Amino acid sequence: MDRGARLEINIPNLISNLRLIKERVRHRPVIAVVKADAYGHGAVPVSKALIKAGAEILGVAFLSEAIELRESGINSPIIVFFDSDITEEVFRYNITPVISSLKIAKRLSSVAEKQGKQLTVHLNFDTGMGRMGIDFQKAEETIGEILSLKGLRIEGIMTHFSEADLSDKSFATVQLQRFDKLRKWFAEKGLTPLCHVANSAAVLNLPEAYMDAVRPGILLYGVSPCGNSMGKPVMTVKTEIIEIRRVRSGTPISYGRTYITRRESTIGVLPVGYADGLFRSISNRSEVLVRGKRVPVVGRVCMDLTMVDLTDLADAEVGDEVVVIGSQGNECITADELAMNAGTISYEILTSLGSKNRRTYIE
């Protein structure tokens, strides 16, 4: 048998989520974030579906991700958010890099001059994320130097919220005010770059951040970054029971004897473990669905296997479908629930499971 879980990627749900976002932001252009292999959902098929459904621009983290999309036949605009190792391939593949420092701007200007071409770029400003971006306090000086460089055409400007997902929007508002000053500075110079700030959380909670375009990521995949749900989950994660064991009361299950049966028990073995992206930290803390019922994970999750307690499910059989994320009968386990049990966030759950398991696409 093939190892790992089976992932079902629901394309109609993806398209529905995009349309809900477009309606919410009053049909502004959408920069669909498909970095990290579309959050584990598969960058190429997801990107093709999003573009066909009306997303205007795609956003990735690194140049290699953009090249993969181009070589799959995608011709829509692609923005590369973080890569500093930019070469002449940006011209070959018609890719728009984001500039986060004067050093990167000078490097890109040199590449453009050698090509004898003009390169379209976006500028990223650090208004409080503390990660990458031109320091907003030195922005005017830095912008002036960038504008003096040859071969660059500033098409857009952006920043990134550090906590737009919190109920307290005070710091997000500070970041927005800082960015708005930069926006006004450009306007005073007669420049009108495309301004994009709103991530998924801001799409939900900060309409004043919509500006010229929005930049949703996790929300496209039917997962909310801040509790208030919108849309339908796109990823379902399934496996099956490969063995059922009847054991006595007092039987230890898995490594470390962290779970010992308190009654005669029926234990199911699943062919998925932490090597497949199912976090070891859910050991003794999470549940899966079998025959429409919740059953607990017992003992430590192993590299290749996970055990569940089927004692209260008398009719379970080898070969039964098991849902790790998704719906079965009237029950549902979300990526957020699994993340909470694992002590992490849904982003990590989706990218971990998505990168290590087989995907099929429901059209």
Catalytic residues: 35, 255
Cα 315 to Cα 100, 325, 333, distances in angstroms:
58, 22, 21
In single-letter form, the type of residue at position 82 comes to: F
CB burial of residue 303 (10 Å; 0-12, 13-18, 19+)? exposed
User: Phi and psi dihedrals of 293, rounded to 5?
Assistant: -120, 150
CA distances from 328 to 159, 268, 283, 292, 322 (A): 40, 18, 22, 5, 9
DSSP string, 194-253: EEEEE-HHHHHH-GGG-TTEE--SGGGGT--SSS---S---EEEEEE--EEEEE-TT-EE
Whether 179 and 160 have beta carbons less than 8 Å apart is answered as no
